[in-house]
Amino acid sequence: MVLACSQRQENLLQTAVDLVRPRGTLLYSTCTFSPEENETVIARFLTQYPDFALLDPPRFAGFGEGRPDWAAPPAGAELARAVRLWPHRFPGEGHFLALLQRTGEPENRTVDTPREFVIHTPLRNDLAQWRAFADELLAFDLPEDRLHAAGGRLYLLPARHPATGTLRLIRYGVLLGELRGNYFRPSAELALVLHVADMTHSVSWSPDDSRLQDYMAGVDIPDPGPNGWLLVSVDGYGLGWAKRVNGRLKNHYPHHARRPQTG
């Protein structure tokens, strides 16, 4: 197990190399006493990547030095710049730190100027798509002044939120769904915050219902009723979406979440 962890950690370091710019730093840290996962890993790394060097980090009470003599084979004296944290001298269960710096001069790079987050009100056609979906399925009203459209998607912004400045946002608020030009497709994220009491069209199955297992496997399910979107729920709590077409529920459970059928 120790040797397997050591190999895994060496692989992680080799991947991290590509992320470090000249003069950039890389901190290697473990929570083990094992020299095979500590000094030996760093010694091999420095041999393989001679453009990296060990820095001597700030020392605090309880910081012990690395042990070059414990590496296999024994390493250079610079390995003493690493840090060992012993549990009888420092809070914790025993740790190891090695601060590495890449040599060379920093590259001149043009950095994009961050932009302020701007709320984009949905266009008239996009808003019409959402209203058609919400009027048909939702038993409550969502405040339209908190709708934000970006990248072909519609979001519900939080009622109260701090100014984000130039912080890059991957997702802000609840993803309601996708704007497909002439119709709205609800998101799995929206389904997870809904209950059948919030809906005008839904199905609710018990956890041991065979239809639930089929649904989570991505199977279309016979279900008579009017055509259109509906919420699929478990004991009333939203799980995903289906679209009833001619007596069958067309499965819209996310592909990445589907489970193979059993039995």
Catalytic residue from among 2, 31, 72, 123: 31
Q: Is 31 a catalytic residue?
A: yes
pLDDT at position 245 is 96
Helix runs in the chain, H state only: 2-17, 39-48, 124-137, 188-192, 210-216
pLDDT at position 75 is 79
If pLDDT is split at 50, 70 and 90, which confidence band does 263 have?
A: low
pLDDT at position 260 is 86
pLDDT at position 11 is 93
The answer to whether 185 touches 221, Cβ cutoff 8 Å, is no
If pLDDT is split at 50, 70 and 90, which confidence band does 170 have?
A: confident
DSSP three-state, residue 234: strand
Please, what is the average pLDDT of the chain? 91
pTM (whole model) above 0.75 = no
If pLDDT is split at 50, 70 and 90, which confidence band does 114 have?
A: low
Among 25-29, 96-100, 177-181, 190-194, the range scoring the smallest mean pLDDT is: 177-181
